[in-house]
Structure 1
Amino acid sequence: MKPYITKNKKRRIKKKLFLDEFAMLGFELSCETSIVDFDTYDLFVDEFVDFIDAQGLSFGGGGLELFEGFLCCSKRYQSVTEAQKSNVVDWLNAHSKVKSTKTSELIDANYF
Structure 2
Amino acid sequence: MSESTANDPRLSRMKRRIRKKLYLGEFQELAFELKADFKESLEEEALEALLSDFVDYVESLNLDYMGGFGETWIEGTIMANKRYGSPTEEDRQALTDWLKARKEVATASASELYDAWHFED
TM-score by length of 2: 0.82
Q: Secondary structure at the match of 1:77?
A: coil
Amino acid at match of 2:89: E
* Higher RCO by CA contacts (8 Å cutoff, separation 6 or greater): 1
Equivalent residue, structure 2, for 1:44: 50
Matches within 5 A, 1:1-112: 6=11, 8-33=13-38, 34-64=40-70, 65-112=72-119
Amino acid at match of 2:52: D
Q: Secondary structure at the match of 1:53?
A: helix
TM-score by length of 1: 0.88
Report the RMSD for the aligned CA atoms in angstroms. 1.4
Task: Tell me the CA shift for residue 89 of structure 1.
Answer: 0.8
Task: Tell me the CA shift for residue 69 of structure 1.
Answer: 0.2
Uncovered stretches (5+) of structure 1, i.e. residues with no partner: none
Distance (whole Å) between structure 2 residues aligned to residue 35 and residue 42 of structure 1: 13
State the Cα deviation string for residues 4-46 of structure 1 (Å, max 9, x = none): x645421110101111221110100111113432221111110
Runs of 4 or more consecutive aligned structure 1 residues displaced over 6 Å after TM superposition: none
